[in-house]
A and B are shown apart, each in its own frame.
Chain A
Amino acid sequence: DTGVSQDPRHKITKRGQNVTFRCDPISEHNRLYWYRQTLGQGPEFLTYFQNEAQLEKSRLLSDRFSAERPKGSFSTLEIQRTEQGDSAMYLCASSFSGANTEAFFGQGTRLTVV
């Protein structure tokens, strides 16, 4: 297993367009997390899955953001009607369930909305 992979690495889109990002976690991990990171800030939690169940989504930034993990493996994060303020790095991470288990991060998708 080569770790958490995210695709694409970079995305430039026009304001108002929809974008979708993909995350492939470490295969043995049952938890998957999405974070947003803006310049000069730490990662900001968005949502997480345990297997295919989305157990926390109240931190999604608006109803334009949605995430899925249909078969408990890869996940997608979609942003509809993008705005310039959505420009950020979107990070995916995975882990085993339970306390004191570290999260392994992908390299992120950098979104630029023009």
Chain B
Amino acid sequence: AQSVTQLGSHVSVSEGALVLLRCNYSSSVPPYLFWYVQYPNQGLQLLLKYTSAATLVKGINGFEAEFKKSETSFHLTKPSAHMSDAAEYFCAVSQSTGNQFYFGTGTSLTVIP
């Protein structure tokens, strides 16, 4: 069975501070991992995905994530938070066949001016 756990349902950071959103996965096989962002009343937009080509993955809007197999983690980071980063962030894992995406419960990011 595959699943993801997002620690911290709410994270607040000051504008300009480091953003760290945590995601741990559970998978019996090498996973396919994704981070999505959702703005209010909108669908989900892909931030980045792990392709196994590199453990450090760069995405849009200055976000990046590092795949750590030993820790079964895929945490999302951004060096300097911007007000426009305030949104809900979801980590997801897909099966090897890619026929389902399993989402975490999400982390709501608040950026304090």
Contact = CB atoms under 8 A, between A and B. Distances in A.
Nearest to A48: B99
A106 B43 contact: yes
Interface string B35-46: 010000111111
Nearest to B105: A42
A104 B32 contact: no
Interface string A96-114: 0111111111111010000
Interface of B: 9, 32, 34, 36, 41-46, 49, 51-52, 90, 92, 94-106
Contact of A4 (B41, B43, B104): B43
B43 A107 contact: yes
A40 interface: yes
17 contacts: A40-B106, A42-B105, A43-B90, A43-B103, A44-B103, A55-B99, A56-B100, A91-B43, A98-B98, A101-B98, A102-B34, A102-B49, A104-B46, A105-B36, A105-B45, A107-B41, A108-B42
Given A4-B43, A105-B43, A107-B43, A100 B102 contact: no
Candidate in A31, A41, A102 with the most chain B CB atoms within 10 angstroms: A102
Interface residues of A, number: 30
B100 A108 contact: no
B86 to A, nearest CB: 16
B97 A99 contact: yes
Given A100-B32, A102-B34, A45 B101 contact: yes
A12 B70 CA distance: 48
A43 B44 contact: yes
A45 B106 contact: no
Nearest to B102: A45
B89 to A, nearest CB: 10
A4 B98 CA distance: 18
A74 interface: no
Nearest to A44: B103
